[in-house]
Each structure stands twice: as C-alpha cells, then as structure tokens.
A = this chain, B = another copy of it.
Amino acid sequence: MADESYRVQSLGRALDIVELIAVAGRDGARLTDLAQSVGISKAAAYAIIQTLMARGVLSATGEGMTKRYRLGLSLVRLGDMAVSSTGIADIAMPILRDLTQAIGLTSRIAVWDEEAAVVVARADAPDNVRFDAALGRRERPHCSAVGKVFLAAMPRADAVSILERTGYPTRTPRTLDTLAALEADLDATRQRHYGIDDEEDHEGIACVAAGVFGYDGSAVAAISVTTLKQLLPDDAVPALAKSIIAHADRLSLAMGGMSAAQAWHKRIHLIAE
C-alpha cells in the first residue's frame, strides 16, 4: 500500500478541482460549488483556480454571478502528447483507419495502464452509431474485449491478482461474475486468439478485440471493434476477428513484435510453469 506521506496537499486538491470541472463538461462549474465539493474554503479554491487559469489548464467564461470555469485548451496538447509518449498511436492511426474502412465500423486501440485498458486512439466510421467512444476511457478488465485480451496475455497469477483487486462487478445479466467463468473465458481467448465482450458491459453492445504484441510476446496494446449485438450475428464474429487480427498483426510487425499466432502459442505453452 502506498504511503500517504510524501504527497503535496494543495496539488491533490487542485487535481480534485480539475476532475470536478471535467465532469461538469460544457456547463462549467462554479467556484462556490467546487470549494464545497473538495471541502476547502473559497479562498483556497480561488487561489488554486487562478494558478490553473494562468497556465491554461482552466478557462473561465462569464462575469460576476454567471462566471463558469471549464477545462482549458492546454490540456489538449498534454493529452495528445500523453498519447504520443505511449509510442504506439502514431504508427497505429493509419492501420486503424484501414481497419475501419475495411469493415465499416469504428475501431479503437487501447493500452494497459495499471489495472485497466485505456483507449488512446480511435478511427470513426462515417455512419456509425457513436457509443461512448471517448478517448481516455478506462475499460474494465473483466467485461471488455480489450481488457480480457490483456488479462489472457499476462501470467495467470497476475491476471487473478488484478481481478481480485478490482473485483468483477455485474454490469449486465451476461457479465461473467465468477472467477471460474472468467478464467475459462481467458482460456478460450488464448485458444481463439481474440477476445469477446458479448453484452457483458452494456446491453446490446458487443466487442471483438485482438492483441498487439511486443518482441517478447507481451501485449503492448489491443485493437477493438464495437458494434450493436443485433448487427453482429454469432457466425459473423470469426470473419470480423480475422480482419482485426490481420490489422493488429501489421501493427505488431511494424513495431518489431510477434504476430498474434506466435504470441498466443508462446503464451499457452508458458502456462505450464
């Protein structure tokens, strides 16, 4: 457990404020509410906000009683640079666009971060229903196609440890909510070389994901496609998965990594030890 010391109080509160303003979105947030939500005085919140505004992290509109604080545009650059620093999005974008064009569906790529899969880029299909495809979204490990790809690729003990730590809350009637069921699905994922979310996170939504692997066979990213379950009959999944895997392999090879077939083969035979 991380020690609570060696932390900067005012900075933590500033991040609380930024987070609150983020969820406020377009409407913006007010100083008084922010101060109360964070649990500090108005004056303290005021000083923090002034500092953040001077650096472009926040912006304000309106005057007097109608003043509202919103996220600032310096975050756009930081977010983009955070994606770049993963080192995969730049190479992935053209491949993602190819995939989207080939199958006519929005595709996304996610990387693993601590205990969740984070979407770092997407290629939107022209006429596609826009689900919650927000960048930076953290996909739960146990009920997302990308999450299960990462879990299946890592050592079994690590996967179990993560599942026990984060839990596996029931999101829909189809969510796999026992460790046994999840482990069985991870086995199936390894066998078929791709991960599936069959309405396990959101009713009516299905996902298929394939891994992107490094030179040592570890999963460095996962490419996924999301669509309405009713538009994806069960017998259409293998063909879709084949296309996703082909594009994911292109990315793996472009980065000097293993193909999906190689990586899963290695992973399956490593489970013995």
Contact = CB atoms under 8 A, between A and B. Distances in A.
How big is the A interface, by class? Answer: 35 or more
A12 B48 CA distance: 9
Interface string A82-115: 1111110000011001000000000000010110
A227 interface: no
A51 interface: yes
Contact of A118 (B51, B52, B73): B73
A6 B87 contact: no
A14 interface: yes
A124 interface: yes
Interface of A: 2, 6-8, 10-12, 14-15, 18, 22, 25-26, 28, 46-48, 50-52, 54-57, 59, 70-87, 93-94, 97, 111, 113-114, 118-120, 124, 126, 134-138
Given A25-B81, A77-B137, 18 more contacts: A6-B50, A7-B51, A8-B14, A8-B48, A10-B11, A11-B11, A11-B52, A15-B52, A15-B57, A26-B84, A28-B85, A75-B81, A76-B82, A76-B118, A76-B120, A77-B134, A80-B134, A93-B124
